[in-house]
Amino acid sequence: RGLLEADLAGDQVLVVSNREPYIHTKTDAGIAVQRPASGLVTAVEAVMRACSGTWIAHGAGSADRETVDKFDHVPVPPDNPSYTLRRVWLTEEEEQGYYYGFANEGMWPLCHIAHVRPVFRSSDWDQYVKVNRRFADAVIAEAKTDNPVVLVQDYHFALLPRMVREALPKATIITFWHIPWPNSESFGICPWREEILDGLLGSTILGFHTPFHRKNFLETVDRYLETRIEPEASVISYGGEMTQVEDYPISIAWPEDDPAQPDVATCRAQIRSELGVAQDHLLGIGVDRLDYTKGIVERFQAVERMLELQPGMVGNFTFVQIAAPSRASLDEYQSFDARVRKMVERINRRFGSGDYVPILLKAEHHGQDDLQRYFRASEVCMVTSLHDGMNLVAKEFIAARDDEMGVLVLSQFTGAARELHEALIINPYHIEQGADALYRALVMPPVEQRERMKSMRARVKHFNVYRWAGRMLLDAARLRQRDKVMTKID
């Protein structure tokens, strides 16, 4: 964290993302502040606290616009302001076309390849272009120098790097793509593939979570644009400019020791009495947005199969699924929600009896403290994404387990699986394997749990979110220095 502050000394930092780090809403008791469920926000917020600057985001969650109009430039976090949240207010038409339409019905399924067909409408694309322009204008308006460091986040803003580059040629633009990048063949179905690639290549540095996604991107550019690519150096030359393409696996801020935090034994006891189960009842936990990429259906099938194969677990094990509602006005999300609920009902009818509930679906937003309590109270955490850039829930579970116990079951299709080798790694499409891993986790001897957990904790603690940001900023500093030298030679 200290290094980050040193790296940035004197530079203005501007972050652009769609999702805002804080949601302000009017309640009877005054203005309530909430943190949204977003891996991106979790990571970038920690970085912004350390380096101040301005974070430009869509005021989406801040529903009561009348009240929040005065929240255009808000000092945040509320308890200890260290940077500015600058909101861009979108019209309903813009939000519909750019966010729901192109970003979440087009790019999201396109990049995740989770067997949901991407939808591309010209009207959505028009809004996407327009909103990228609006955010680029906000960046330009906020820039106090001609060479700020601009951190562009995610698939909502593929065109913005180019737009900012045209107005601020000396800016250092670091774009991070938080979701997977598919193979070139799959990406090629996007009707505006050239525009998207051209926009992204306005970046000085373009980051992905894994080497695999980075290579997919290089191949996609090679296939659809006239560029010169140096694969060894991972540099793309295009229109007289260079973009460095790198992999920077994202992470979390390692929690500081907090004496106010209830210990594992207290969490275990509290959660079990809240759920009305015996103190030795076994618990599994899943925490996701209610999204079809997260493998929630496959996870429940694995739970069902485990109960089928291990009758001794029936009555003694409950899987708690916390599912934050997400993008709920989209058809795909509504039908997924219905499918998940139906499945839970069916499995509970099949294996439940009396007070016993095999799967407890809590489909509402939960605060950070509550999630911590569940992580600490459970024997196993299941992360079964069908495809995921990184998945920070896996890392949050590990960080929460200061007792060095608990088992992580992790999909091989997450970026996290490249780092967390001591998890029980599964193919979420293989239900038998999922069931097996779940059972193995529930009966794993404490010595083995500790060995696995200890080594994962050491890795996440070391490769924390400050290292993620620090590596990008160090690379950026190197390129800024190179540019300075080049200018002098010129």
Residue recorded with tokens 């997260």: 294
Q: Does 48 bind ligand G6P (CB under 6 A)?
A: no
CB 456 within 8 A of CB 408: yes
Query: How many C-beta neighbours within 10 Å does residue 176 have?
Result: 26
Say whether residue 154 binds ligand G6P (CB under 6 A): yes
Nearest to 241 by CA among 202, 274, 215, 206: 202
The residue of the chain with the least Cβ separation from ligand G6P equals 38
- Which of positions 437-476 make contact with ligand G6P (CB under 6 A)? none
Q: Which stretch binds ligand G6P (CB under 6 A): 38-46, 330-338, 348-356, 445-453?
A: 38-46
The span from the CA of 297 to the CA of 162, in Å, is: 39
Binding piece for ligand G6P, criterion CB under 6 A, among 34-42, 206-214, 362-370, 434-442:
34-42
Range in contact with ligand G6P (rule: CB under 6 A) among 32-40, 160-168, 339-347, 352-360: 32-40
Q: Give 214 or 327: the residue with its C-beta nearer to ligand G6P.
A: 327
Taking the least distance from each CB to ligand G6P, the nearer of 391 and 449 is 391
Backbone angles phi, psi at 156, to 5 degrees: -75, -20
Choosing from 1, 178, 305, 387, the residue that interacts with ligand G6P (CB under 6 A) is 178
Amino acid at 243: T
175 binds ligand G6P (CB under 6 A): no
Residue whose CB is less far from ligand G6P, 46 or 267:
46
| Least distance between ligand G6P and beta carbon 19 (Å) | 4
- Contact flag: residue 179 with ligand G6P (CB under 6 A): yes
CB of 103 to ligand G6P, least distance (A): 8
> Beta-strand (E) ranges in 195-329?
205-208, 228-230, 235-238, 241-247, 282-289, 317-324
- Here's the x/- map for ligand G6P, 223-252, by CB under 6 A: it reads as ------------------------------
**Using CB under 6 A, which of 21, 39, 53, 249 touches ligand G6P?**
39
Q: Does 391 bind ligand G6P (CB under 6 A)?
A: no
Q: Which is nearer to ligand G6P, 38 or 244 (CB)?
A: 38
Whose Cβ is closer to ligand G6P: residue 178's or residue 387's? 178
Q: According to CB under 6 A, which one of 4, 14, 23, 40 is a site residue for ligand G6P? A: 40
The answer for residues whose C-beta is within 8 angstroms of residue 165's C-beta and 6 or more apart is: 171, 173, 202, 203, 241
Q: Please, which of residues 253-282 interact with ligand G6P by CB under 6 A?
A: none
Of 382 and 393, CB closest to ligand G6P? 393
- Measured in degrees and rounded to the nearest 5, phi and psi for residue 457 equal -65, -40
Supply the Cα-derived Rg of the chain in whole angstroms: 23
Residue 163, CA distances (Å) to 134, 196, 215, 260, 344 in order: 10, 12, 25, 47, 47
Q: How far apart are CA 67 and CA 76, in angstroms?
A: 17
> Of residues 13, 15, 16, 19, which one binds ligand G6P by CB under 6 A?
19
For residues 267 and 265, give the distance between their C-alpha atoms in angstroms, rounded to a whole number. 6
* Burial of residue 203 (number of CB atoms within 10 Å: 0-12, 13-18, 19+): buried
Is 38 a residue that touches ligand G6P (CB under 6 A)? Answer: yes
Of 389, 366, 415, 395, nearest in space to 456 by CA: 395
| 97 contacts 126 by C-beta, under 8 angstroms | yes
Contacts of ligand G6P in 300-329 (CB under 6 A): 326-327
- Tell me the site size for ligand G6P, rule CB under 6 A: 10
Shortest spacing between CB 327 and ligand G6P, in angstroms: 6
Give, in order, the Cα–Cα distances in Å from 384 to each of 137, 179, 339. 39, 16, 17
Nearer to ligand G6P, 326 or 411 (CB): 326
Angle CA 92–112–225, to nearest 5: 90
Nearer to ligand G6P by C-beta: 204 or 326? 326
Q: In angstroms, what is the minimal distance from the CB of 176 to ligand G6P?
A: 10
Q: Identify the sign of the CA torsion 268, 431, 117, 175.
A: positive
Site residues (vs ligand G6P, CB under 6 A): 19, 38-40, 154, 178-179, 289, 326-327
